[in-house]
Amino acid sequence: MAVLAYLGILCLIPLIARAFRKSPFVKCHLNQGLALFIGWIVWMIGSILIVYFLRVAALAVPVAIARLVVWIGLLILEIIGIINAVRRKMKPLPLIGKTKILK
């Protein structure tokens, strides 16, 4: 269940199954997985809005680079989270590790 928390929309499975109530380990990883999932949603909506509204050609390259950097950052955080879950560690992720979505 802890690994599912980092796999995009699959993070809803441990949430619906309420696995986080029985295990503080799953709750820790589900909090981080939900934060990453929200990050991915914000990234996708931002990307769509940028592509739709960006009319200045001079900004296209810097915006594309920024989108790529954020994408790589989110991907790296997911990989670190999955590795921590597989190794049975409750180590917080950089930047989002202290985010508490579930209480």
- Specify burial of residue 79 (Cβ count, 10 A radius: 0-12, 13-18, 19+): exposed
Count CA atoms closer than 13 A to 6's CA, side-chain side.
22
Residue 59 has pLDDT above 90, yes or no: no
Q: What phi-psi label fits residue 79: left (phi over 0), alpha (psi between -120 and 50 degrees) or beta? A: alpha
- Average pLDDT, whole number, for the chain? 89
Prediction pTM value? 0.85
Residue 10 has pLDDT above 80, yes or no: yes
Q: Where are the domains of the chain?
A: 4-86
Residue 35 corresponds to which tokens in the numbers above?
Answer: 């934060």
Contact predicate 77/36, CB 8 Å: yes
Contact predicate 85/5, CB 8 Å: yes
